[in-house]
């Protein structure tokens, strides 16, 4: 077999899906870390400091400064552990997994793994990332906790999440161009907050509504703000005067086809997740009667629609504005 092919599945080594493995996602920007391929002179994004296989030094890329720091770290460790464990640690490959974890903790870095039994070149793959702000890490932990609660529609939910995380700006998109969380990860922060608030309201007001419905509608009610795969709706504003004098840090992408926000949200979601009528209504009319077009459902809202409207408003105007501290 050609050296450019995986000896197990025959797929090109540059494939992200070789041997049915799942790609590691950068916790900063959502880019996929490239595991395979002989071209180790580049990395997928600025946050990656090293990546490769563990258990085998077949493929590895590393930042020179990190490489030197890791060697110093191993030298310090050599007096405390069996030297044989460290002998392959000069290039961050073929070393014990706990060693990279300890190094990451000491340097304030993030180390992610995918340990898949039967990997054709070893036991798995790793990626070492720059450190991340504590508040961002907390947000990602809350986000992951919500994802773990999905069970009945887990397969379709996971497929949609994979699309969002791999092919859109879901993990880094702002929530608006200027006012409402017009900042990196603003949309994720708001979406996670709405889902969490919706779950709290459900517990006391409508426990018969499933948690899964609350998470799906809460997490994805504004997903239309992403635009489309490969075409982000919000772009950094290249007009420095507007940024400095008007505070308009983002602009909308003219290449994204014009449609209502909730229409795009339903368009994106429905391609992957089967929604109930109540869930569709909740997403379509979550802004409530603040929107003239929503009068069509006035006094005929489903309980979930009312709950998500309250959760959306409460999250945006109480939690995100810090007004909950006075309650």
Sorting pLDDT into bands at 50, 70 and 90, what band is 181? Answer: confident
Asked whether residue 6 is assigned to any structural domain, the reply reads: no
Which of 21, 37, 30 lies closest to 170, judged by CA? 30
Asked whether residue 233 is assigned to any structural domain, the reply reads: yes
pLDDT recorded at residue 130: 79
Please give the mean pLDDT across all residues of the chain.
79
**Cα distances (angstroms) measured from residue 88 to each of 84, 98, 99, 202, 303:** 8, 14, 11, 54, 60
What's the whole-number mean pLDDT along residues 167-172?
A: 87
Asked whether residue 226 is assigned to any structural domain, the reply reads: yes
Same domain assignment for residues 140 and 103: no
pLDDT recorded at residue 59: 56
Sorting pLDDT into bands at 50, 70 and 90, what band is 36? Answer: very low
pLDDT recorded at residue 179: 83
**61 vs 219: which has the higher pLDDT:** 219
Domain of 232, in residue numbers: 134-326
pLDDT recorded at residue 108: 79
CA atoms of 324 and 327, how far apart (whole Å): 5
pLDDT recorded at residue 191: 96
What's the whole-number mean pLDDT along residues 307-327?
A: 89
Same domain assignment for residues 104 and 237: no
Q: Which of 129, 164, 185 lies at the terminal end of a domain, its last residue? A: 129
Same domain assignment for residues 230 and 294: yes
Sorting pLDDT into bands at 50, 70 and 90, what band is 101? Answer: confident
Q: Which of 103, 129, 155 lies at the terminal end of a domain, its last residue? A: 129
Asked whether residue 10 is assigned to any structural domain, the reply reads: no
What DSSP state is assigned to residue 26?
Answer: P
Sheet holding 124-129, edge to edge: 60-62, 48-54, 124-129, 110-115
Q: Which of 84, 106, 129 lies at the terminal end of a domain, its last residue? A: 129
Same domain assignment for residues 121 and 177: no
- How many domains are there within the chain? 2
Same domain assignment for residues 114 and 181: no
The per-residue pLDDT for range 56-96, each reduced to its tens digit, is: 545 566 777 777 777 777 767 665 555 444 444 445 545 55
Same domain assignment for residues 36 and 172: no
Same domain assignment for residues 298 and 176: yes
Same domain assignment for residues 111 and 140: no
């Amino acid at each position: 077999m050609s050296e450019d092919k995986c000896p197990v599945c025959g797929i090109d080594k540059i494939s992200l899906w070789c041997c049915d493995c799942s790609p590691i996602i950068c916790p900063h920007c959502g880019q996929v870390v490239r595991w395979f391929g002989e071209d180790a002179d580049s990395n997928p994004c600025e946050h990656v400091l090293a990546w490769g296989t563990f258990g085998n030094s077949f493929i590895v890329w590393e930042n020179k400064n990190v490489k030197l720091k890791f060697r110093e770290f191993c030298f310090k460790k050599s007096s405390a552990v069996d030297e044989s464990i460290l002998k392959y640690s000069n290039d961050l490959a073929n070393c014990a997994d706990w060693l990279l974890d300890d190094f990451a903790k000491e340097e304030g870095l993030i180390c992610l793994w995918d340990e898949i039994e039967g990997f054709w070149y070893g036991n798995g793959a790793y990626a070492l990332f720059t450190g991340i702000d504590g508040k961002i890490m907390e947000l990602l932990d809350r986000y992951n906790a919500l994802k773990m609660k999905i069970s009945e529609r887990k397969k379709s939910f996971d497929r949609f999440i994979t699309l969002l995380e791999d092919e859109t700006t879901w993990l880094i998109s702002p929530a608006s161009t200027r006012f409402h969380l017009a900042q990196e990860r603003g949309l994720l922060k708001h979406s996670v907050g709405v889902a969490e608030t919706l779950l709290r309201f459900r517990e006391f007001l409508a426990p018969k509504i499933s948690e899964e419905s609350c998470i799906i509608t809460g997490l994805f009610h504004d997903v239309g703000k992403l635009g489309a795969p490969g075409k982000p709706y919000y772009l950094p504003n290249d007009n420095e005067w507007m940024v400095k004098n008007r505070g308009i840090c983002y602009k909308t992408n003219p290449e994204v086809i014009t449609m209502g926000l909730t229409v795009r949200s339903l368009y994106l979601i429905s391609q992957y997740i089967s929604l109930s009528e109540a869930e569709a209504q909740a997403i379509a009319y979550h802004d409530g009667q603040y929107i003239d077009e929503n009068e069509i459902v006035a006094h005929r809202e489903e309980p979930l629609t009312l709950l998500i409207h309250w959760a959306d408003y409460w999250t945006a105007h109480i939690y995100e504005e810090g007004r909950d501290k006075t309650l």
